[in-house]
Amino acid sequence: MKFFLYLIILLSLFSSCASRNDLVYFQQDSTSLNTAFELNAPKLQPGDILTISVTADDIRATTPFTLVNAYQSGSLQSTNPFIPTYTIDENGEIDFPKLGKLKLQGKTRLEATSFIRNQIKPYIVDPGVNIGIQNFRVTVLGEVVKPGTFTIDNDRVSILEALSLAGDLTINGVRKNILVVREENGQKSEYRIDLTQRQSLNSPIYFLKQNDVIYVEPNGAKIQSSKYTQNTSIFVSIAGLIITIIAVIVK
């Protein structure tokens, strides 16, 4: 009886063990790496909130292209400039001072920067333009240490960086089938990535886009453990007691 009891315990332990291939990231193979951010840079889309600042050698020349905060003026404005925000509307446009409606949807941040600079050049010699995406955020859910939504300071963020912000995967997270949900042009798409394979570094979703959602599913051991309740523990204890009593009687 004890032999069978020990055998059941050993089988349960071995069945819950994960192999090295299930846990180790980017396992060595012959895959050549050619990840290029420029090929997968996020495109601006309706709803994006942008900060746009214009600079020049003569700061006075930038005044027509800058929205001025009514609460800032004079020396305060020069030492602590107000940087306005612009929201891309449903038509993919922003309303920019002096220039009017500008179509930015579908452009990368760098392309939009170059586009606005060219629009300003007829008015300012060698203008500087800087664009930031204020609402660039990604959400990480599932088997990670700290699930949540994270706001990113720039638009160059990889799936590894996002998982790092969430504290990395737990031991129960499935590394071979991570889901990324992405919305583009009003349509949601699903992508899968296997972080145990080096070829995942070449994936089109290795670099994330604004509002991406990452989901890490639980492995079999976590699913099985979630089935146990307090009542199940009581039943297991009773079953163990009965087995012990039977073993003593048989002896």
Distance CA 113, CA 214 (A): 29
**Edge-to-edge order in the sheet of strand 49-55:** 85-87, 49-55, 128-133
How many other C-beta atoms are found inside a 10 Å radius of the C-beta of residue 205? Answer: 20
Burial of 180 (C-beta count, 10 Å sphere; 0-12/13-18/19+): buried
Distance CA 33, CA 202 (A): 6
Distance CA 38, CA 129 (A): 20
pLDDT of residue 36: 72
SS3 category, 93? strand
CB 138 within 8 A of CB 208: yes
Digit-by-digit pLDDT tens for the chain (251 residues) are 554 444 444 444 444 455 656 667 777 776 776 767 777 889 999 999 999 999 999 989 999 998 765 444 444 444 455 677 999 999 999 999 999 999 999 999 999 999 999 999 999 999 999 999 999 999 999 999 999 999 998 888 999 999 999 999 999 999 999 999 998 878 899 999 999 998 888 898 999 999 999 999 998 877 777 666 555 656 666 766 677 777 667 66
Distance CA 16, CA 43 (A): 43
| C-alpha distances out from residue 116 to 57, 146, 209, 229, Å | 17, 39, 22, 60
Strand partners, 176: none
- Strands, E, within the chain: which ranges? 49-55, 85-87, 93-96, 100-103, 128-133, 137-142, 148-151, 178-184, 187-193, 213-216
SS3 category, 101? strand
Distance CA 195, CA 22 (A): 10
CB 22 within 8 A of CB 172: no
